[in-house]
Structure 1
Amino acid sequence: MTAAAPLDSVRKTATRLLGSSSRNSYDPGLDIDWDAPVELDMKFMPFERTSLYGTGLWDRMTEQQRIELSRQELASVASTGLWFELVLVEMLARWAYHQDPQDPRTQYALTEIGDETRHILMFAKAIARLGAPTYRPRPLVRQLARIYKATATGPALFAPVLVAEEITDRLQREMVNDESVHPLVRMVNRIHVVEEARHVRFAREEVARQMRDIGPIAKVISNLASAVVASFVATALISPDVYAEVGLDPAEATRAARGNPNYHETRRWMAEKIIKFLDEQGMVTWYSRPIYSLAHLV
């Protein structure tokens, strides 16, 4: 099991991250050429990472439909990321409210709020430039998120955030290095990957420290809550509404995606690193693992 960082160590990490943020942050409004034409004949994400790749329905789709599916699914992933970062901003502000503003951890949390605010604007602008709609999680998920962001504490605050950030991070890193993916998508992902690396480092150390300090009942609650929230977020990444935009029958496409072994494997690949970390912290247990498994995260 990975050793938990003591509070002083986490504060030193936060101080280093504050310095890194001041030196290596982007302004998407200036660092991305938003006026460049968006060619619609390129892939917007690797085909093999789309929800229908490998199905009989995929085999019947035209090349243009496959490109369009990649565009709409990329917009759906960005929309879900945007939504969850709004949730994160509210949770970090609530967490910081109870902390000492002189503590480097508090100051880094406030810095992260600034980063996430820029990311939200960047994702929203990218979706608009792609000419795609903003996809929103289902009403039940949005209502449950209102409860979560108002009540989450300890590892249950930071662990689901890590799952959401790290599963999308792995997909984004692959797209950054794939020259067949649209350049606008690659640039947006490059900015996000660089800045999210700092957020992940901070959250990982907080989870490790807090899991060391909380009692057994709080651990069970945190483990279950983290698994449920993470699974809802992972499931919401691809909205069923994307299929109608591609010209497919939504019911048929949704069934194909839900039963697609290739897409299940993609989810496990996206979650591989973060699930290993959570397992090391004692958060993937006999009672929480089945929840992650239902969402194809393990």
Structure 2
Amino acid sequence: MTVEPQTRTTDREDIAKRLLRSSAKASFDPLVEIDWDAPVDPDRYAIRPERISLYGTELWESLTEEQRKELSRQEIASVASIGIWFETILMQMLVRHAYDRDPTSNHVQYAYTEVADECRHSVMFAKLLGKLDAPYYRLDPVAHFLGKVFKTISNGPLTFSGALFVEEILDQLQREIMADEELEPLTRAVSRIHVVEEARHMRYAREEFARDWNKRGPVVQHYSRIMLSLVVYYSATRLINPAVYKRVGLDPREARKAARRNPHWIDTKTWAARKVVDTLDRAGAISGPGRYFWRKAGLLGRRGASAPTTAGPEAQRA
């Protein structure tokens, strides 16, 4: 299956040259740009309440306003922990991608530039955890092991489709956070830096995926669909670590079950993934048995439900 027009590529060296220029003009040092000494405001949400995994459930109604705001901070910390985990994987995959290529090319030099960006982002997310009084929410042993496997066996289409998936999910959530002046200033500042720099990373990944995918034969494409669906499933179903619920006095198992069944949370994940789902689906990367895992992860919407709007559940506050 060929990639449709919206995902056709430009010249590899030309786009890398432009991305390098953009990096030189708009890159940030989070240690300098963010006021890490400012206290976190306990009276503000870290993310819109409509995006919290338990929003609209009976457990949500049982929480006090203070508990809800604390849960928002812990859920952002959980997402940041996933971000650190995947960015560490991505950095290794990008170095492998560059290993066999000409370092004098713009393409490889931008890969190195992105690695430098991801290093800063991981430090930024780690400092965010400390400011939110949150632990590093470690993945369960199975997911952690699969991450090791994925970074080792990943091919070109898997590297860039996997990167695009995680980056697009975070980008959608963070664009919303940075634009909402009612939210905690620290999470808005972190989101702003990540959104600006990840826009380049997503362009690089989108182009490289499209370029590589069309060169692959049916066997490799089938393998890549299955592997990608597993990466997507384990990433999306672990965005919120069950341990966050314990921090607000809830039973982790009960809360996790409630979140998995929560239509608001499913709609939020569908909304956050809508752009990358469209890109990969049009390319033919979401089909066959792998599509089952995309749906099971809550990324293709609820059966029988209308597609969520770009406004998402927050429109209910209006």
Calculate the TM-score normalised by the size of structure 1: 0.97
- Output the amino acid matched with 1:152: S
**Considering only aligned residues, what root-mean-square deviation do their CA atoms show, in Å?**
1.1
For the residue of structure 2 that corresponds to 1:213, the secondary structure is coil
- Residue matched to 1:90: 92
- Residue matched to 2:107: 105
- Residue matched to 1:73: 75
1:26-41 residue pairs with structure 2 within 5 A?
A: 26-41=28-43
Match of 1:218 among 212, 217, 220: 220
Mapped partners of 2:117, 2:163: distance in 1: 15
Deviations 1:52-101 (A, max 9, x none): 00101111111111011101001000111111101111111111111111
- Residue matched to 2:150: 148
Mapped partners of 2:159, 2:19: distance in 1: 20
Match of 1:157 among 156, 159, 168: 159
- Output the amino acid matched with 1:161: A
- Residue matched to 1:236: 238
CA contact (8 A) 1:154 1:222 kept: no
Deviations 1:229-274 (A, max 9, x none): 1121111110001011111111211111111111011110010010
Shift of the alpha carbon at 1:286? 3.0
- Residue matched to 1:254: 256
- Residue matched to 2:194: 192
Calculate the TM-score normalised by the size of structure 2: 0.91
Mapped partners of 1:142, 1:102: distance in 2: 35
For the residue of structure 1 that corresponds to 2:180, the secondary structure is coil
Q: Which runs of 5+ in 2 are unaligned?
A: 301-318
For the residue of structure 2 that corresponds to 1:236, the secondary structure is coil
CA contact (8 A) 1:160 1:227 kept: no
- Residue matched to 1:136: 138
- Output the amino acid matched with 2:228: S
Please state if 1:286 is matched with 2:288: yes
- Output the amino acid matched with 2:155: T
Deviations 1:86-124 (A, max 9, x none): 111111111111111122111111000000000000010
Mapped partners of 2:125, 2:216: distance in 1: 36
Shift of the alpha carbon at 1:24? 0.7
- Residue matched to 2:309: none
- Residue matched to 1:16: 18
- Residue matched to 2:315: none
- Output the amino acid matched with 2:90: L
Mapped partners of 1:229, 1:99: distance in 2: 26
Mapped partners of 2:143, 2:104: distance in 1: 36
For the residue of structure 2 that corresponds to 1:284, the secondary structure is coil
Instruction: Give the length in aligned residue pairs.
Output: 297
Mapped partners of 1:164, 1:19: distance in 2: 24
State the identity as a percent. 48
For the residue of structure 1 that corresponds to 2:214, the secondary structure is helix
- Residue matched to 2:175: 173
- Residue matched to 1:297: 299
Shift of the alpha carbon at 1:5? 4.3
Mapped partners of 1:199, 1:146: distance in 2: 22
CA contact (8 A) 1:51 1:260 kept: yes
For the residue of structure 1 that corresponds to 2:11, the secondary structure is helix
Q: Which runs of 5+ in 1 are unaligned?
A: none
For the residue of structure 1 that corresponds to 2:299, the secondary structure is coil
